[in-house]
Structure formats: C-alpha cells, structure tokens
Structure 1
Amino acid sequence: MALSLWGPDALNGPAVCGLAAYAAERDHGREGWLPARFTLELFKSARRIPTSLHTEVLRDGRRIKVVQVSVRQHDGDDEKGVLVAQGNTVFLKQGDNPPGARWSRTAADYDVPETADDDFHTWFHNDRLGWGSDMTKYQDGGRRRLWSRPIPVLPDVEQTPFQRAVISAEGTSLATNWGEGGIGFINGDLTVALSRLPVGDRLGVESDHHLEDSGVSAGTATLFDERGPYGIGMVTAVDNTRAMIDFTTVLPASAYKGDGPFTPDGERRGDDRNV
C-alpha cells in the first residue's frame, strides 16, 4: 500500500507524510493543542529501506509550538542517513472562538457515499458521474472529489485523527493535478491547515484550485469528513511527463500484491495483472 507508481521501490507521498505526522504528534502532541498546520518538503524520493525520524522544537510558546521533523533513510551501514523530507508542524493552543458570525461553506455541501466497513477502495466523484470506485472512469479534466480510508503508516500503532488527516490530505496532488491524460505533475511538498481534527475512518478531498504554467503547478483542496469541511490542503508540483501515470491503463499501486507495481526491469505493470 505504501509503494508509489512514480518509480521502482519508491514510497508514495501519503506514507512519507504519515510518518512525519506520526513523529511530530508522538513526540510533542498534548491535550488542548491542535496540530493546526503541517508542512513537509518532499525533496528526495523515499525508498523501501530503513527510515528514521527526528524531531526538534523550534519554538515553545504560550499559545504556539513549532516542531521540525526530519525523515532520513539509511542504506547499508550509513548511520547518518540521507535526508529525504523535512518540515514543520505547528501546534496551536485551543480556546474559544471570537464573537460574531463569519462566512463558511455548510456541511450540506459535502455529500459522501455509503461504503461498507470492509471496503478500502478510494471513491471518486465528479459532476458527470457522481460517486464511484472505478478509477478509470474518472480520468477527465473536471473538478473531482476523493473519499478514502487512510491506512496506518506503522504496524501495531494506532492511527490518530491527525495522521489520517495528513495521509488523506496528500491526495490534494491527485485531486488537483489529475487531468485528461493522467497525472503528469509530481508534488514536492504538502501543506495541511486544520481548524479541527477529523472524525471517522474515511476522509474526503475536494479540489478547489489548479494553476499551471511552464511546467509548475499549484493546487488547493478542501478537506472534509462526514460532518463537513475541517481543513485545507495545498501542494506545488513540477512536470514529470516522462513518468506520467495514465490510470486508464495502470492500476493504482495499492492494487498490487507483494511484488509491487513494477517489474524487475523497472517497467510499470499494466491493468492485465491478476490481482
């Protein structure tokens, strides 16, 4: 489930972001403080090798705490490792809202599909088809929603709402960069802004904006759960047409068994796999 379609033995963005969220919350989370912003720079492809996590407090104030998270990978006897991702998590002290009304979209704007408890498929939505789980039918140039069930990043470690939010929010890149020919932009970062922690096992991402020029894109999305919107996701991405993923011919990485989505020669497996 953690393997990427971008390259052989590569980890996907949700897995790396989920690890960073886990480390920040494990080391510095506390009652009454919301992990309100998560930012991670994904500047080097992570692989399926030993990985270590390090956190450092940059600011510990009365109402704000800023934690830096570093993700390093170790090949062989390399104890120092190679830095593959780094970012900050900002914890804000919770309290009361200021008086007065402010505009916000209502929870009624976000309908969600009915799914079975044992259904781990991601569901997709556009205005033409509504909700469905057949990814191949949703490859177009329109606005879309995702409704996914984030899986834990570590075995035997209970997944928290914050981890689910970050893993789901990495879908901002898919929601905003997936077009008629597939996805040809690869994101090099993720920013998540939360007003509250999400509820439920399934979480949604709705594309809001996609801008692109000269091989660079910027995208934002609304993050929602069964109660309505709870946060915002943002990514910047760079052209990766040489490894463009066409979901009408290639299965998502999660559909493959232990041998992964690539052949030993580094070629992507097609949709004729017996899975």
Structure 2
Amino acid sequence: MADAFYLPDPADPNRFESTELTRGPWSPDAQHAGPPSALLGHAIERCEPRAGFQVGRVAVEILGPVPLAPLTVETRLARPGRSVELIEATLSTERGPVMRANAWRFKLSEPDLEVPERFLPTGARPGPEHASGPSPFPSSQPIGFHTGIEYRFVTGSFDEPGPAICWIRLKYPIVAGTTPSPLERTLAAADSGNGVSAVLDWERYLFINTDLTVTLHRQPVGEWICLDAVTYPQPHGIGMAESALFDEKGPLGRSTQTLYLGNR
C-alpha cells in the first residue's frame, strides 16, 4: 500500500499519481472527494504565495466522479488585491476537469485587532481521547480513504443515523514528501460531514455531495479535526450537510455540502 494519497510526478510539478488510499467507499474506480479537495488546497496554497496572507474560504465544485488516475492541477490568481485575493484551481484528468475550486485569501492584521474578548468564538468539543476508539468505516473496499484516515466518534456512529461529533486524523500525507498543511487536513476531513451524520440507510440510498464549502476564521492546530455534523434530508431528494469545525483548542469555522439523495 502507498504511503501517501498522491505521488508527485518528477517531470511535472502540476501532475500527481492517485494511489489506492484515495478510493471512495462506493466504487473501486472512483475517489472519495476528501483527498482531491485537499489536493486542490495543496495547490492553492502554492499559487503565488504571499507572507502574511491566509486562506479563509474554499468552495469546491465536484463536476463528476474522480477516477483513480493521474491528475493535473492548474491554479491562477483570478483577482489580485492588496488585502483580499481570489485564487481559482482546476483538477483534471486526461478527459477534462473533474473538480474546480475558488479560494479567498486574506491579509492578516498586524498588529492584531482589538476585538472584545466576549465576541471571540469560544467553546470546545470533547477531544478524541473521549472517543471509545477508532471507528471502522462501512466499506467493502479493502484499501481506500477509510483506511488512510482515523475516525473517532464522541457521539453518534456510522451505525447510528443522525447528528454526530467525530474527530478525523490523516494517517498519511496528501502529497508524498510533504507534511499536510492545516488547510489540507481540514478539507480532507470536512468532506466526511455527510457520511458521519448520515440519516439514510447506506444500503438503500445515495447521499452524494455535489460541492464542499469550507470557511475558516482561524487555522487548526494539531493533527485532529472535529466535525460536529448534521444532515438535513428532504423527501424530494435534495439535502444539506453542515458541520461546525473544531480542533482541540476550540472552534475553527464551518463546512457545508449540498446533497443529491436518491435510491441506490
């Protein structure tokens, strides 16, 4: 088994080989959206980087199944600015684009702003040490994204429909030879919101997200990302998953996913 989700191409810095660790739970030939979202984040952070700037929001559009195949990432600074700038990124196979992302990058205040302490985000969730232990993912695939990360439920489980609090940690780097950045860790974890808080029977229904939007008011610290997740289904077949994001120090931001709901 590979020791990373993607292997960089020595001849092309924008091209990556997808390993078995990217495989999703439904098909042996398609990736879970978490790793390619994190790969987009990896590329976005390397697009004309500027000291004192930080990504505050990433919106990913999933254009179709992402195959276990070589991927090419292209980025560009779409809207330069002194304080705020927009970066666009596209993830493609040889057949064309499979994912697109827009990211807003913000200039950090120096010195810090004098924000009254009572207005700062507070609160925490019980840490991963409060979980009963690693939680196996319900997949028939022997190797995939579910074996490349660790899930720890504080409340809920894959077998218990409804809202859940789940900590997620990468076991391997997104790109071989690199250390996952806080943004990469967050994007990889956030795409599991609809899975950890699923309300429909995995065997009977599909609940596939068409997008992932992550907004961060600060960067996470440490390896663990917590999703306090809930899924809102509707009988007409459109749903939404929403996750409050935390690290072990407290709140980070939010993520949302629009869901297609249907019979399997």
Same fold, judged at TM 0.5 (above)? yes
1:215 to 229, 237, 245: 237
Query: In structure 1, what is the Cα distance between the partners aligned to 2:34 and 2:128?
Result: 22
CA displacement 1:173-227 (0-9 Å, x = unmatched): 2234x12523731001100000111011111111156253410111211110010
Aligned position for 1:259: none
Is 1:32 the equivalent of 2:44?
A: no
Question: Could you tell me whether the CA contact under 8 Å between 1:168 and 1:203 is conserved in 2?
Answer: yes
Could you tell me how far 1:68 is from its partner in structure 2?
0.4
1:161 to 168, 179, 182: 182
Is 1:92 the equivalent of 2:106?
A: yes
3-state SS, counterpart of residue 220 of structure 1: strand
Query: In structure 2, what is the Cα distance between the partners aligned to 1:69 and 1:196?
Result: 22
Question: Could you tell me whether the CA contact under 8 Å between 2:245 and 2:252 is conserved in 1?
Answer: yes
2:126 to 102, 111, 135: 111
Aligned residues: 223
> 54-63 or 96-105: which moved more?
96-105
Q: Which one has a larger percent strand, Structure 1 or Structure 2?
A: 2
Is 1:228 the equivalent of 2:250?
A: yes
Aligned position for 1:121: 150
Could you tell me how far 1:66 is from its partner in structure 2?
0.4
Question: Map of 1:61-72 to 2, 5 A cutoff?
Answer: 61-72=81-92
Query: In structure 1, what is the Cα distance between the partners aligned to 2:84 and 2:233?
Result: 32
Aligned position for 2:96: 82
3-state SS, counterpart of residue 35 of structure 2: helix
Which aligned runs of 4 or more in structure 1 are off by greater than 6 angstroms?
A: none
Question: Map of 1:194-209 to 2, 5 A cutoff?
Answer: 194-208=216-230
For 1:126, give the aligned amino acid: T
Could you tell me how far 1:104 is from its partner in structure 2?
5.8
TM-score (norm 2): 0.77
2:212 to 187, 190, 197: 190
Structure 1 residues 121 and 41 mapped into 2: Cα distance closer, same or farther (>3 Å)?
same
Could you tell me how far 1:72 is from its partner in structure 2?
0.4
Q: CA RMSD in A?
A: 2.3
Structure 1 residues 125 and 179 mapped into 2: Cα distance closer, same or farther (>3 Å)?
farther
2:43 to 23, 37, 40: 23
1:174 to 195, 210, 222: 195
Structure 1 residues 210 and 184 mapped into 2: Cα distance closer, same or farther (>3 Å)?
same
Structure 1 residues 98 and 59 mapped into 2: Cα distance closer, same or farther (>3 Å)?
farther
2:173 to 152, 158, 171: 152
TM-score (norm 1): 0.74
Question: Could you tell me whether the CA contact under 8 Å between 1:191 and 1:235 is conserved in 2?
Answer: yes
CA displacement 1:115-134 (0-9 Å, x = unmatched): 89xx953111327xxxxxxx
Could you tell me how far 1:142 is from its partner in structure 2?
2.9
Structure 1 residues 113 and 238 mapped into 2: Cα distance closer, same or farther (>3 Å)?
same
Aligned position for 1:272: none
Query: In structure 2, what is the Cα distance between the partners aligned to 1:24 and 1:120?
Result: 22
Question: Could you tell me whether the CA contact under 8 Å between 1:43 and 1:84 is conserved in 2?
Answer: yes
CA displacement 1:98-117 (0-9 Å, x = unmatched): 5445556533x41112289x
Question: Could you tell me whether the CA contact under 8 Å between 1:185 and 1:241 is conserved in 2?
Answer: no
3-state SS, counterpart of residue 69 of structure 2: coil
Query: In structure 2, what is the Cα distance between the partners aligned to 1:173 and 1:13?
Result: 12
Question: Could you tell me whether the CA contact under 8 Å between 1:188 and 1:237 is conserved in 2?
Answer: yes
Percent of aligned positions with the same letter in both sequences? 25
Is 1:139 the equivalent of 2:159?
A: yes
Residue segments in structure 2 that go unaligned for 5+ positions in a row:
1-20, 134-147
